[in-house]
Structure 1
């Protein structure tokens, strides 16, 4: 159980940093705005994306948030990473920027798997 908690919190904190803290601090930079323009998205989309990312990571890291809300947060991030990869592949071709969201998706999946292992242990302690 201790190993599961360590893996869960390590991966979840990485998601928290990459998808909550970093976007909140850098979303209004010229580089971030240019990145959205480069992919063909309007500026308001970036603002909405940051708001939902911050809400999503808060849902993941606050233990009192209901399980159903956490499930939606995981799903939202999975869609975000998949569509980010598709956007980069469509605009830039096969390069690292297209694969990076898939790497973060793998980290998210590990967090999700260990979240459920912890929940299962809470419901059926051995």
Structure 2
């Protein structure tokens, strides 16, 4: 059980840290406006996604958050990272640009699986 908790907290911590760094980058890095335009997304989507990432990171980081909210946060991150991989691929970005969302996707999947192996409760 200790190993499962260690895997859960390590992967969840990396996801939360990555999302919090992403939020700071989304709000304070002017180059991201150009990057979003390159992919074809409007600038308001960058702000919306930054707010959603902040909410999701908090939902995963706070232990007393209800399981259903955590499920939605995991789902949101899964969709976000899958979409990021697809968006970068579709505009023919170099493989390097797909690495970060792919790594985050793997971390989210491991965190999700370990979360459920530790917490065998019904979602309410």
- Flag whether TM exceeds 0.5 (same fold): yes
Structure 2 residue matching 1:101: 3-state secondary structure? helix
User: What is the TM-score of this pair, normalised by structure 2?
Assistant: 0.90
> How far off its partner does 1:98 sit?
2.2
In 2, Cα distance between the equivalents of 1:57 and 1:35?
23
1:40-91 CA-to-partner distances (Å, cap 9, x unmatched) read 1111000000000000010011111110110010000000000101100000
Structure 2: gaps of 5 or more residues? none
Which shifted more, 45-54 or 91-100?
A: 91-100
In 2, Cα distance between the equivalents of 1:6 and 1:99?
24
Structure 2 residue matching 1:92: 3-state secondary structure? coil
- Structure 1 segments (4+ residues) deviating >4 Å: none
> How far off its partner does 1:93 sit?
4.8
Instruction: Count residues in correspondence.
Output: 120
Structure 1: gaps of 5 or more residues? none
The answer for the alignment partner of 1:112 in structure 2 is: 112
In 2, Cα distance between the equivalents of 1:32 and 1:43?
9
User: What is the TM-score of this pair, normalised by structure 1?
Assistant: 0.89
The answer for the alignment partner of 2:3 in structure 1 is: 3
**RMSD of aligned alpha carbons:** 1.3
The answer for the alignment partner of 1:22 in structure 2 is: 21
